[in-house]
Structure 1
Amino acid sequence: MFRPFSIYIGLRYTAAKRSNHFISFISLVSMLGLMLGVAALILVLSVMNGFDRELKDRILGMVPHASITGYQKPIEDWHLVADIVEQDVRVIATAPFISAQGMLTYGGQVRGVLVQGIDPVAESKVSIVSEHMLKGEWNNLESGEFGIVLGDLLARYLGARMGDKVTLVLPEASISVAGVTPRLKRFTVVGTFSVGAELDSSLAYIHIDDAARLKRIKAGVEGVRVTFTDLFKAPIAAREIAAQLDGYFLVSDWTRTHGNLFQAIQMEKKMIGLLLFLIVFVAAFNIVSTLVMVVTDKKSDIAILRTLGATPGLIMRIFMVQGVVIGFAGTLIGTALGVLLALTVTDLVAWVEQVLDMQFLSSDVYFISYLPSQLNWNDVVMIASSALIISFLATLYPAWRASKTQPAEALRYE
């Protein structure tokens, strides 16, 4: 089979056993460094993509993309407001809500909590909580029954189980014959949910009618939650929709509650990607030192080829082939290893946690309780292409030095 002379000689040099084992060792180190750099970059970017996905799917699946609330008073005609909002093509669904902050107590344990009064049917259209019930049923929240659905971690902190009665303490004071007392109400635990996020430890749901009685709202709701087709356009879209409504309304969106977390993940992804790319850059340029030593070791061979009629361009291509083969092998193995780790790292970390009987990511500290990973093939192509380009550029200077070798000088002491 016909092969260009430069490729043939370059491959022979790459595969040949050298008398100078140090050069062979440096070549192996260059390839391994490039391999580990590429694999680490693919793995870390996949994990950061996983965190980004979990933030959007879990955290932003629990909190509203945007909410429209009444200005210093409830929205009495919220059905009309919801109908107007849902007419916008950017809106998926709406749901009414009443919020309350307080403390839950049970068995001597006290925990701060955000209680959301919701309509179970409407809420399931704007939130993923109904899909992550651990115990009980989402539809167990019925009007007048004063049932409550707790986050799994919150229930464990309190020691509350299904059917237990927990006491909700609101900071609003009630005046009675006994004096000024906080407002108290007992609720029956009818379910628990878990989304693997910090919300599991601080969020609870009750029926919206029970919330209205608790907060003494005679008519209407505090606001309407809105879910959009594109959550990144939610801030602008929500304000444009609210401007079309009659009356005064307050608009809030996810960027105010969790925007900093999302921006932090995006910034960390860019900075970590840049740092790891520098590792790939350094590993690829180890090829320079490898080829410089190879050129020095092969000066007599280069001189003989020149005397046989080899042109400087041919000599340059021979050593470029050798460097490109090292870079290609390191990039190919590193890409395969990185893809394999990115696809299995979640299960691998879970297995290590089980073996060591410890949890690396606790929901008390992090917004999810496991290590996510999402392989993005565009990232893989970009990383592999960049590594190959850098490897190619790293061969230019040593190959150019080889092409400038003078036969007489190289053979003088042979």
Structure 2
Amino acid sequence: MDSFKVVLEGPAPWGFRLQGGKDFNVPLSISRLTPGGKAAQAGVAVGDWVLNIDGENAGSLTHIEAQNKIRACGERLSLGLSRAQPVQSKPQKVQTSDKQLLRQPVPDASKQRLMEDTEDWRPRPGTGQSRSFRILAHLTGTEFMQDPDEEFMKKSSQVPRTEAPAPASTIPQESWPGPTTPNPTSRPPWAVDPAFAERYAPDKTSTVLTRHSQPATPTPLQNRTSIVQAAAGGGTGGGSNNGKTPVCHQCHKIIRGRYLVALGHAYHPEEFVCSQCGKVLEEGGFFEEKGAIFCPSCYDVRYAPNCAKCKKKITGEIMHALKMTWHVHCFTCAACKTPIRNRAFYMEEGAPYCERDYEKMFGTKCRGCDFKIDAGDRFLEALGFSWHDTCFVCAICQINLEGKTFYSKKDKPLCKSHAFSHV
């Protein structure tokens, strides 16, 4: 930790904002800087810890006491600061395969609360999450095979042939770094990232984009026969068992010749069809819902959710927001008409706005500190201006005037004791 002293020449504003304090059980630190301000020109950085203010130990001050102490400095402000040295770590080389599992990021606290609040509008079993697409392989066995008796008769005349076994399905293992001892001098996230507080403000709403399930690629040709044989040999309820001739689950007749296996049952290829349109599902994907089998097109028409704006079926990309489902091109900013997708947005008079247009149309700045009043911040209106609740103080003694009688002179609030003082 490097300790140093900074002296700023007045008058205010000083060009920085504090966070923490004794009442928050967090050391006082610099949370935001005004670009080109006095603090920035003096070399103060976001995340610097405040050790003392005009010689007084900052560790014993609450947030309000620290603010009042700074305001009372007048024409000269002396700060004792401490800055943590960045910890550099050697990057580790990790061997990974070509196919990697997607890594689900751990949600931060605000997004976790959003996910909990929106549990009641997540897809229910039988709609989005129950659309268990099954490839015609282990579940459907899309390759035809010969009758066991015919195959046995051919074995004596066929030249023995070695077939390379299909590669086993493996799940790539992720390499995780070993446990590391936390460094006490590591800077907090709000210090490393200046936009941390703004990006994770409690008023911002995250949206989730999900893609409508589509049929997966059919099982490769060279693997289908072995999959069908495995399913037919070990299947139940109509499939072949212990080398016996399979029975079609649809017509309950013995299958002589080619057949396929789906959902643990054997079928004639021409009898494995969509329950609604009758399309043969020999190739491609299918969906199973409440015991019925559907092709992708019929499933979308029957079970796909409706868009909250245009009321049409959503068969492609789905967006979840405000406990409803939307087409991506239907959920747009009310000002610029661009799709919001997975960006943060604000609601104003029942209409969504992207962050840029909301700040442009509805954003306000605090008269006291000249910083933006974010949605969710406590503020008040006085003297024709907007103020943070902690910034509305007497211009002389810095006592907080929220909810109290005050006087004004030159657009500056004054308490009763200094009502006739020179400003």
Q: TM-score, normalised by structure 2?
A: 0.25
Q: TM-score, normalised by structure 1?
A: 0.25
Tell me which of the two structures has the higher relative contact order, counting C-alpha pairs closer than 8 angstroms and 6 or more residues apart: 1
Q: Which has the higher helix share?
A: 1
Instruction: Say which one has the larger Rg.
Output: 2
